[in-house]
A and B are shown apart, each in its own frame.
Chain A
Amino acid sequence: MGPNGRARVRFGRAELEGNAGEPLLATIARHGWPNLVRSVRYHRPRGPFCGVGDCAGCLVRVNGVPNVRACRHRLRDGEQVATENSWPSPRFDVAGALDLVFPHGVDSVHGLRRPSWAAPLYQRFARRLAGFGRPPTPAPPTAPPPARTLRADVTIVGAGRSGRAVAEALVHRGVRPLVLERRPVPLAPTTEGGPVAGTELLGSATAAILPAPATAEPAGGSGGLELLGFDDAGGGIRVRTRALVLATGSYDAGLVFEGSDRPGVVTADLAVAPLGLPFEEVVVVGGAERARQVVERLEENVVAVVAPAEISPELARAAVERDVPLYPRSRLVRGVGRGRLRAVELGRRDGSGRFRLACRSVVLAHRRLPNAQLAFQAGARRRWVDVPGAYFPVVDALGRSDVPGVYVVGSAARPSAEAAPTPERVAGAVLGDRDGGPAPAAVPPRPSEIVPYYRELLREPRRGKWVLCPCEDVLLDELERAAERGYHGLELAMRYTGVGTGLCQGRYCLPEAIAILAVLERRPPAEVGYVTQRPPLTPTPLGALASLERPEPSEPRP
């Protein structure tokens, strides 16, 4: 660390200075909107998108390690930071010409197939363009940080609102739960309320692997659950616990339109994250509470609120107070700009024509989806919920999933419209209370909103690329071709196009793909199916996994 808690890093040819421990992306963003990345297939310009460490929009190379997410990496003095996958720079990248050469993309049928004698040539060419960063630079061998093994009766994943509430209720009943939190602690007290007294809180800890108890290796005879993860230093974490409460919350979904992958299009998670991105001329997409939060956060930088459906009175009030115009029942058709966004084209859903709004950012705050993948990995049953249009784990009135010992609470467990058990009741169930009490009143099902939205949108004429999966540059056209050729259902669409196989583990493309396939295959989204949630949930360093290896059992191999 430099003097006064400041840190200096080398960034390309420049030197950046910031507060040691702040997100590297915040340091970079002080010098303007970050343009760090070119996309993997067509070298399209990309910028930060998700703000929560899942997308591929802020990958940099740090001290010779590729594909480091600048939004998650904490600034340390003396580090070497570089951009990757572009030459000479992400702002102007020669390989960006590919985007023009392949207007409809490359897949197994289109492009780079004939003549067959040239196959080795274009394979070499395609291969050199693939991948993000160069392989890690050889470093002097250092022993990986040893794995930590933690034991707890009750473990809570996530120190957000729901996790804290259950933690408090458990403490109240005399239990000291272990709380894993992906973000570094201390958390910002203004939004998170600070740590819960009486808990063991482990920050910078990402939970990644939760094998189904039936298939897991015997966890040292104690029974119970074994959760594997890693910390920000790359060390492995092994947690043995009797009960596991997943309070992993929700996230803001992506949205597909022409140019939806342009730098400047971001999720509300990014807009409200303490990353200091220089927002200006923002179009907020959404009609309810999340959009209102964004309007209040970005204040005078908001130039319009666009909602796929109606606009809530609270959001309308917040917007009108700031003289922000409202565009209800509208859709985003096109993001304009060669690099960073310059404008968006909107369409009225009643079909009354398209119009253009100048803007530098679009903030997506139109639907929030559950972070329940860890429960699915453990084998929890799932149920489709049409609004917001996602799979939720099946849990009972006390938060119990059908995986013994695994509970899911908060927005990871159910949409906001459904009644949730109180934290006290969940804590009681975790500690053995059998009485479920009355089941929450059933909520009448609402018809899907996202499927009709995409049904109308797909009728719009298309000129440029509609990128469905930004991590792997999978285009909407490819999904349509899969459907046309009869490869129906999400599993086959994934295998035909590669959608969902990128760095974000499908968080931002699969929910959209399900809705779009429902349109293309003319069947309800629940029939489109889903993919098996396989470990790890979050990309996990090989070093951390290796540190978690247990000695071979003594029985001989077959």
Chain B
Amino acid sequence: MTLARRDYRTVVVGGGVVGLYTAHHLVRAGAGPVLVVDRGRLSAGGSGRNGGGIRQQWETRATIRLAREAVAAYRGFASEFGHNVWFRQGGYLFLADGAAEMARLERVRNVARAEGLDVRLLGVPEVERLVDGIAPGACLGGSYLATDGTLYPYPVLWGLLEALRRAGTEVAYGVEVTGVARDDRGRLAGVLTSEGRVATGALVNAAGGWSGELSRRCGLDVPNVATRHEILATEPMKPFVDPMVVRASDGLYFSQSMRGELVGGLTVPHPPGVDGGVPSSARFLTSMARALLTLLPRLAGLRVLRAWAGFYDDTPDGLPLLGEDPRLAGFVHANGLGGHGFMLAPSASRRAAQAVLGEPVDPEAREFSPGRFLAPGGASRVEGLQLG
């Protein structure tokens, strides 16, 4: 893999959905030439390993705004990019199995209402109508938003990649970034890659689970932590549950894909960091099965087809890092999206592109400022709904 040029206006590191979307925003703004590099293969990271959930129910208004913009983008994706992503707005149902969870969902409802979203609190009978066969006594109620939904992640990647290549943008897989070069004023001047040095004034770190490692490799101490999460898929059935269902207490989630498979996950503890790779664990399979059957006991005879794992890119406050790093001019973060990189990619990447272009950022995006961890007490808000 040799690169076509030795200088680019922007180098985007990470060829997943956030990186490709960032490049797309930049190219559309006429801010080329852009180079996208990725040390792996298309869809090998989190963009090819997520459950496809897209929701707007959050505890912070800033995240809700990101999510609303993302939903609008995915609704129009098929006509804009020519690939059907099967974005199905079947809703998101958060279940509360205790009073504390119910109170939390009520807070979510209130924040969402203030943002103009029609989140409703449901009682047990309404939950039973949405989740056919839910075990009696499995929950006290829930919160529901009908315009949340799920999509099929891969075609998003195909559509973005093909649009970029049609526009002449270079997307290079199998190229690793080893560091950055600075000019004499300390600004970013170039990117060191396995294919040699590339001159550029801007680098976008969209490396997903590896973004913390990349920032640190470039001399920037960041709080991002990669954590391994696992998903399983069952054999396909006729549709019986429309929404994505998330249990607020333990984070169990599942939805039924367009193909009819039940796809879901549950957090089981694994050592942090990317070094262990993404093996599947027996503990996840057994814990997930147990948790799922407490909600839907009638599925005991249903078979699990496969399981896989991927990395979340977690931050201490549950909010992403979007924008230029105050310690290195030209180094822009588009990361820290937790397990919701795919969900928020269209809008999060637009904030990153704004930072590259030097455009004024939306006021609420200050909560995503990468500098907030540098000052004590800088991270003022916490997004606690890091589930599903």
Contact = CB atoms under 8 A, between A and B. Distances in A.
A144 to B, nearest CB: 6
Interface string B257-278: 0111100000101001000100
Interface residues of B, number: 65
Contacts of B79: 114, 116
B300 A234 contact: yes
Given A542-B304, A546-B286, A549-B287, A133 B41 contact: no
A540 B304 contact: yes
Contacts of B301: 65, 136, 234, 541-543
Contacts of B306: 501, 505, 534-536
A67 B273 CA distance: 39
B291 to A, nearest CB: 8
A134 B303 contact: no
Nearest to B259: A130
Nearest to B271: A558
Nearest to B87: A119
A135 B227 contact: no
Contacts of A548: 282, 286
A434 interface: no
Contacts of A541: 300-304
Nearest to B297: A141
A113 B81 CA distance: 11
Given A215-B279, A549-B286, A542 B162 contact: no
Interface string B285-307: 11111101100011111111111
B223 interface: no
Q: Which of B79, B132, B303 has the most CB of A within 10 A?
A: B303
A98 B272 CA distance: 48
Given A131-B260, A495-B43, A503 B235 contact: yes
B158 A131 contact: no
A485 interface: yes
A418 interface: no
Given A128-B239, A131-B238, A485-B162, A209 B279 contact: no
Given A135-B237, A535-B282, A535-B307, A144 B48 contact: no
B43 A492 contact: yes
A212 B303 contact: no
A85 B235 CA distance: 14
Interface string B141-167: 000000000001011001100100000
Contacts of A133: 237-238
Interface SS of A by simple majority: loop
Interface string A209-222: 10110011100000
Contact of A132 (B235, B280, B299): B235
Interface string B53-78: 00000000000000000000000101
Given A215-B281, A234-B301, A545-B286, A108 B235 contact: no
Given A135-B299, A543-B300, A217 B282 contact: yes
A217 B297 contact: no
B236 A135 contact: no
Interface in A525-556: 532, 534-536, 539-546, 548-550, 555
A543 B290 CA distance: 8
A137 interface: yes
A3 to B, nearest CB: 29
B303 A120 contact: no
Q: Which of B43, B85, B89 has the most CB of A within 10 A?
A: B43
Interface in B246-262: 258-261
Interface string A118-157: 0110010011101111111111010010000000000000
B238 A545 contact: no
Nearest to B240: A135
Given A131-B237, A141-B297, A209-B282, A491 B289 contact: no
Contacts of A555: 269
B283 interface: yes
User: Size band of the A side of the interface?
Assistant: 35 or more
Interface string B85-100: 1111100000000000
Q: Which of B44, B237, B299 has the most CB of A within 10 A?
A: B237
B110 to A, nearest CB: 29
A550 B286 contact: yes
Nearest to A211: B282
A558 B226 CA distance: 12
A109 B163 CA distance: 13
B162 A503 contact: no
Given A116-B79, A131-B237, A226 B297 contact: no
B120 interface: no
B133 interface: yes
A113 B279 contact: no
Nearest to B89: A120
A66 interface: yes
A25 to B, nearest CB: 18
Nearest to A498: B259
B303 A109 contact: no
B308 interface: yes
Given A66-B237, A123-B258, A545-B285, A536 B299 contact: no
Contacts of B87: 119
Contacts of B305: 501, 503, 505, 536, 539
B239 A535 contact: no
A40 B236 contact: yes
A487 interface: yes
Contacts of A209: 282, 285
B307 A132 contact: no
A26 interface: no
Interface of B: 41-44, 48, 76, 78-79, 82-89, 132-133, 152, 154-155, 158-159, 162, 227, 234-240, 258-261, 267, 269, 272, 276, 279-283, 285-290, 292-293, 297-308
15 contacts: A65-B302, A109-B83, A119-B87, A135-B240, A144-B300, A211-B282, A234-B300, A492-B43, A495-B48, A503-B235, A532-B308, A534-B280, A535-B282, A541-B303, A542-B299
Interface of A: 40, 65-67, 85, 108-109, 112-114, 116, 119-120, 123, 126-128, 130-139, 141, 144, 209, 211-212, 215-217, 226, 228, 234, 472, 485, 487, 489, 491-492, 495-496, 498, 501, 503, 505, 532, 534-536, 539-546, 548-550, 555, 557-558
Cβ-closest 8 pairs across A and B: A131-B260, A543-B300, A545-B289, A539-B303, A108-B155, A549-B286, A65-B301, A131-B236
Given A496-B154, A540-B304, A542-B299, 11 more contacts: A108-B154, A128-B238, A128-B239, A134-B237, A136-B300, A138-B133, A491-B43, A492-B41, A539-B304, A542-B304, A545-B285
